[in-house]
Structure 1
Amino acid sequence: MPIPHDRDRHDRVRPDRVRPRALRRSLAFLAVGALTMPLLSGCGEEDPAGRPVAEQDIAPAARNLVADGGTLSWAVDAVPETLNTFQADADPATSRIAGAVLPSMYRLDTSGRPQINSDYLESAKVVEREPRQVVLYKLHQEAVWSDGREIGAADFAAQWRALSGKDSAYWTARNAGYERIEKIERGDNDLEVRVTFARPYADWKSLFSPLYPKQVMGTPDAFNDGARKKLKVTAGPFALKEIDREDGEVTLARNPRWWGRTAKLSELVLRAVPRAERAKALAEGKVDIAEIDSEQAERIMLAAPAKKSQGAGPLSEDSPLGQDGTPAAHGPDAGLTPAKSMRSWAVAHGSDEEAADDEAGARKKRRAAVAEYTAQQSALRGFAVRRSLEPAFTQLALNGSEGPLSDERVRRAVARAIDREKLAALVLEPLGLPAEPVGSHLALAGQAAYADNSGALGGQDTDEARALLADAGWERGGPLQPVPEGKKAAGAEGEKDEQDEKGEGKRGSGSGSGSGSGSEDESTYVVGDDNKPYDGDENLAQDGKQFKPGSAPGAYAPQGTRAPADAARGPLAKNGKLLTLRFVLPSGPGTESLRAVGQRIATMLERVGIRTEITKVPDESYFKDHIANGQYDLALYSWPASAYPATDARPIYAKPVPAADGSLSVEQNYTRVGTDRVDQLFDQAVASLDESETRSLIRKADARIWAAAGSIPLYQRPQLVAARTTLANAGAFGFQTPVYEDMGFLKKGAKGPARPTEK
């Protein structure tokens, strides 16, 4: 799922569809909050940024092997509501269209680093530093808008005025960087643009990508409304031809005024296809390329011709085997066993006529479904799964605003209890992708600012986690608060009572079966000291034995019997309360992998005495009602990587401050954990014009973010794309900005790259 170009919007955070080795440090340092900074590379030392963990997979082919013409149909989530990437409701499709039809001064390479876009610029550099920073852009001499007008200073100036934040009539979603500009003027000729900054800005390369014509940026009406439904003037290899909202299609056609390499495709069609229906859409020829989930990827790989010779023929109604002879994991007969098949046959041919008729009808429907599925599998043989890692990472967020996690020692204990390598392997190894934990909050491996700073917190260490919890006052088997007469015992059952009586979760969480939200889709269970989920309606003693409310673990043993050794490893308590954390996870389709990670984390935490109350909530309320509102203790969601972390990451990790109305302003810092020093490092980094100094400051900020333990980066998100085997230069792009003019279908007889499964 591509990340929206709009880098300052909250919807950059998202649950995974299932949206980054440690130096060990002593408990003494952790307990007093001291921070040992990881050593950074010096002159002549190896660059800590390294290389991307996974290469892109786009079926590369030379342009002379790609046919001229053809239409590529590309699945998107929806037809965009706006074509203006700077508006709040811009989405990934908005960015994809802008990338194909509008100028961008810089593009990202395969390592996620900005490179000058030679189709629009001959050069761009800082020509003055004092008394003001001045950047001089020299434009490509053939660069023109589709109406024939040259791209020039007037377009740069119009975009600056619209996004500077000085005119509230422009409904902008972001203005990062543009507010630092003092003036924009023509240089020595029409091909030069001089941008003067009022304050130094390290991330100046992030500006004017994309660049809209002055017709769009020149007036509030044109910006707010005019660019939502149409773009009359463009300047890319493609131009906007048509938006058909009824059929859910956006058609881009070759731009006849394009001065660069001619686009290989005649048309590029973005077609809205729900993610759950993409395998079917591929098989029916509705789309040629689509981002898919792991289940759909497995289905497509099973359909590959390489599997055919191993199989036992096509699926049949009474066979639980797939085309390769293995148990079917997909399709209408996924759960059909020989025993169930025999029973179905017996009922259909039995003496009970009514039951026989019903079963015969069901078998007929299954036969039709199997036939359809088999035909789809045959069609899917023409597709390959392109695999890489998305420029985004999944993190465990720890809400530090209240409750046990407001104590930094408890947050660090959670982090030390988690084995990030095992979590990465759980998600990525089954997909054949490298399972390497992410070592930075602010960049990914290969990007200039990356360095593994996880040593500022330390790696997985159960003993260290237990020691941190003990230092924070959480004791095993500690006394619980007295239970008032008529109430149930303290613990999980007592917490359930609080939900039942108040109609909401603890601290107004709005989660659980007693949630105030009233959503029937929400479900809650507790992972306790027996390493098994239970719903809190009954307490469990050692060895899984149940005991009556009001009793205690060990109560079933004769008086005087020594407590089992494992009793000392029970749940933790403090001030009469058990240590239980609310763990919120999405429940929608495609989030199965995320829930599996959440369950594994809960198991890891249970080993150090931390219980988790897992609540599964609908996707539409996951962020809005829980993450953004702080109604959680633990949560999993993703952030995209940025080539400009000094600008883009600051609001994510900025220290929350009180707002004028008394509320807490968190910007995008949904963990509510931040420090003044981190803010200072970001401020210094964004104002430095020395790139090496900026990188050093960003890495120092990241080390301190690690030490605060507000969020724990886990792994890069997998990027799975199904594409026709004849499609070249498109697929799982990884970091790289797509090169739309090179995409196309191989000429007849041209040999493309091997399938990923055949490498």
Structure 2
Amino acid sequence: MSHDGIGPRAVMRSAAFLTAGVLAVPALAGCGSDDPAGKPLATGDIGRADRARVADGGTLRWAVDTAPATLNTFQSDADATTTRIAQAVLPSLYRMDSRGRPVRNPDYLESAEVVETEPKQVVLYKLNQQAVWSDGREIGAADFAAQWRALSGKDTAYWTARNAGYDRIEKIERGKGNLEVKVTFSRPYADWRSLFTPLYPKDVMGTPDSFNDGARKKLKVTAGPFTVKKVDGKEDEVTLTRSVRWWGDPAKLSTIVLRAVPRDKRISALAAGTVDLAEIDPSAVRRITAAALEQSASSPLMGPGAKRSAADDLRSWAIANGSDEEAADEEISAREKLRGKTAKYARQQKALGGFEVRKSLEPAYTQLALNGADGPLADERVRRAVARALDRKAIAEAVLEPLGLPAQPVGSHLALSGQAAYADNSGALGRQDTKEARALLADAGWVPGGRVEEKKEEGEKAAGSQGEKDGGSEEDSETGSEGGDDGTYIVGEDNEEGGDDKEGGDSGENGDSGADGGEGGGDNKAPQDSGTGTQHLEQGSAPGAYAPRGTAAPARAEAAPVAKDGKALTLRFVLPSGPGSDTLRTVADRISTMLERIGIRTKISKVDDESYFKDHIASGEYDLALYSWPATAFPATDARPVYAKPVPGADGSLNVEQNYTRVGTDQVDQLFDQAITTLDDSERRSLLRKADSRIWAAAGSIPLFQRPQLTAARKNLANVGAFGFRTPVYEDMGFLKKSAQGPTGAPGAKSAEPPAGD
């Protein structure tokens, strides 16, 4: 699991594909200028090409995070790869367009509409008459009914992960003909379009045994442009082949191989030619970007020994040719290893020249979670103080600007810019305001002063070691890195003589004045009044407080640690430690610095990736944490369990559903309940936006930025890459014909998405 990516499994939040941005249809009405939903911040980047320019045949080797434990997306251990396979081999009645909104998939549906609302809601599906399963049987009401019974929650023999929406269905029956399916709901259900995507055959859904075990490692019956040929557990890969029973546009590729490759091994896999497509991290982006430059231009920027100076090389040569034989042997060995690494790097860079980076923004956002179950953050005033201390714009810029992506903070918990339910409701909490944040802390009883900790010895680092950092330590106020105060602002608190120079002007020796233990003299020494030996003070200055001319006071001069009843306010900030977590660590450092300015300390704890979510987030063993949530097209259904008010169980435990911050209100629950039963689209959006405003006000989680989606793709790959909101069209993926390639093998057209509905 990538913790810079989605925290909880995407299957828990339903709707299309959520973790890796894998999400032609009739056009939707365009957004008006006054539509608060706005437009997507970034379009997809997929190397778009007309099908006529794509060659027939070929194998796409696609790197994924894991080989799937199951092929059934409705089971608890389904993951992103499970969903990716389902999109290629099973019916999806609705897909996401480039604005993250559901649109009818004409390969399966001719139409679907609510035909009755009284006394019950009835939806009539009219299926594409060519839609058949791979065994030749028509897709029909029996498949819909089997899936409903399996997912309704009435039969506990089915090991299902979720039943949202299916539990509201009263009955399913055939319409006037085999191609019509009539679904009657016992209670109104606004998100009915979220159902039956993907749709499994009755062979899988018909019995508990077939549901629980039959579809874990194989799918005998499919209905998509591809079919599952083999799941190879030893090789950690799944092979999909072109379906001969597919009635739509035939797939261009003959084979897709989904191969599990760890994130930190993907550059090597791309360079070795074992994968053609892979999501990558920012460091890999830099490698591929450098590979596009001429070798003479790219080699000094990166690679082994790139930071070595001419002096380093000269010293190395001298040691290797010196009289100390042992040191010479060690240096010669090190030089040989460096040459080997450099040669390997050069070979990789040459191979990486055949790839390009396609980038967009995922349909997911990273948030700061505040655990409101107990401790200081159980007080809403403290949570709001934390939130008001954050400069979310600066955080988004730190992550996204270096990648050339739009750096806008996310304004909603329930949708992203461009989606129907989106509106920037962050005003319900208030903008960044350090003074107001301090006032909120004071109102909650947390004020500067009091016993906070023993004073550290001079020269001791304030920051903790090996991933733990005292939030009161000195940090660079802009980057959050350790080191902070360079000692040029000195308060002579121990100088009882009012600043007298006891050692003939060398004040740096005892640290009473001067530069924090540095050598005295120069700009660090106060001027002397001739004949008196006392320091000359400029008007308005205080004895014992000096800095070199032009030195600004530290940014944290007014941010004394806050305390209550003699105890400092220190929050445990939990982060994953594995590969791919660099972005989260950067964000955490920024947040820690921002909180330090209002007197809140943070103690960063880095934990193993595998235990991060299960043992810390889900179990509530944290104060602050960073993880991501997907933004779906059906927030009334999918977001409710994330923000539902925790309910005490009969055994005394707390049922939090997916609300891992443990912060919720009855009013938010009521607004979700109203939204899910409201069939009027405009009214439902209004209810959801009201719910979001109240979620902001409660300050249990603070959305920060939409996650970057970075994909390395061979330059001649078409219609695949960073999809953004849009569901991939698997039958259009392929390699460009040679006649359609540019001079470097790249698509001749700009790699970008068409407008929504194109």
C-alpha distance in 1 between matches for 2:95 and 2:369 = 30
Q: Is the 8 A contact 2:56 2:252 kept in 1?
A: yes
Amino acid at match of 2:124: L
C-alpha distance in 1 between matches for 2:445 and 2:248 = 66
C-alpha distance in 1 between matches for 2:283 and 2:236 = 25
Amino acid at match of 1:470: A
Of 636, 653, 660, which residue of structure 1 is paired with 2:650? Answer: 660
3-state secondary structure, aligned to 1:720: strand
Q: Is the 8 A contact 2:168 2:187 kept in 1?
A: yes
1:206 aligns with 2:211: no
- Alignment deviations for residues 695-740 of structure 1 (CA, whole Å, 9 cap, x no partner): 1111000000001111110000000000001001000000110000
Q: TM-score, normalised by structure 1?
A: 0.84
3-state secondary structure, aligned to 2:468: strand
Deviation of 1:7 (Å): 3.0
Counterpart of 2:422 in structure 1 is 450
Counterpart of 2:453 in structure 1 is 491
Counterpart of 1:171 in structure 2 is 159
C-alpha distance in 2 between matches for 1:675 and 1:611 = 28
Identity %: 67
Aligned pairs for 1:246-645 (under 5 A) are: 246-304=234-292, 307-308=293-294, 312=296, 323-324=297-298, 326-328=300-302, 331-477=303-449, 479-480=450-451, 490-491=452-453, 523-528=467-472, 530-531=474-475, 556-558=494-496, 569-645=559-635
- Alignment deviations for residues 90-140 of structure 1 (CA, whole Å, 9 cap, x no partner): 111111110000001100000000000100000001111111111110000
C-alpha distance in 2 between matches for 1:398 and 1:119 = 44
Counterpart of 1:7 in structure 2 is 12
Counterpart of 1:22 in structure 2 is none
Aligned pairs for 1:109-258 (under 5 A) are: 109-258=97-246
Higher alpha-carbon deviation: 378-387 or 355-364: 355-364
C-alpha distance in 1 between matches for 2:281 and 2:597 = 31
C-alpha distance in 2 between matches for 1:229 and 1:542 = 59
Amino acid at match of 1:556: D
Q: Point out where structure 1 has 5 or more consecutive residues left out of the alignment.
A: 20-42, 313-322, 481-489, 495-511, 514-520, 534-539, 547-552
1:735 aligns with 2:725: yes
Higher alpha-carbon deviation: 619-628 or 209-218: 619-628
- Alignment deviations for residues 652-683 of structure 1 (CA, whole Å, 9 cap, x no partner): 11111111111111111111111000000000
C-alpha distance in 1 between matches for 2:170 and 2:277 = 44
C-alpha distance in 2 between matches for 1:146 and 1:296 = 40
C-alpha distance in 1 between matches for 2:443 and 2:65 = 49
Counterpart of 1:507 in structure 2 is none
3-state secondary structure, aligned to 2:11: coil
Q: Is the 8 A contact 1:5 1:85 kept in 2?
A: no
Q: Is the 8 A contact 1:529 1:570 kept in 2?
A: no
Aligned pairs for 1:44-55 (under 5 A) are: 46-55=34-43
Distance 1:544 1:662, change over 3 A: farther
Higher alpha-carbon deviation: 589-598 or 361-370: 361-370
Q: Is the 8 A contact 1:8 1:173 kept in 2?
A: no
Distance 1:217 1:554, change over 3 A: farther
Q: TM-score, normalised by structure 2?
A: 0.84
Deviation of 1:172 (Å): 0.7
Distance 1:364 1:563, change over 3 A: closer
Q: For this pair of structures, how many residues does the alignment match?
A: 668
Counterpart of 1:36 in structure 2 is none
3-state secondary structure, aligned to 2:369: strand
C-alpha distance in 1 between matches for 2:193 and 2:544 = 66
Compare CA radii of gyration and give the structure with the larger one: 2
Higher alpha-carbon deviation: 464-473 or 422-431: 464-473
Deviation of 1:617 (Å): 1.9
Q: Is the 8 A contact 1:384 1:756 kept in 2?
A: no
The Cα RMSD (Å) is 2.7
Deviation of 1:492 (Å): 6.3
C-alpha distance in 1 between matches for 2:95 and 2:417 = 18
C-alpha distance in 1 between matches for 2:623 and 2:235 = 42
Deviation of 1:335 (Å): 4.1
C-alpha distance in 1 between matches for 2:408 and 2:485 = 38
Distance 1:450 1:351, change over 3 A: same
Deviation of 1:355 (Å): 2.9
C-alpha distance in 2 between matches for 1:753 and 1:81 = 39
3-state secondary structure, aligned to 2:12: coil
Counterpart of 1:318 in structure 2 is none
Deviation of 1:143 (Å): 0.2
Distance 1:83 1:13, change over 3 A: closer
Counterpart of 1:723 in structure 2 is 713
Q: Is the 8 A contact 2:471 2:570 kept in 1?
A: no
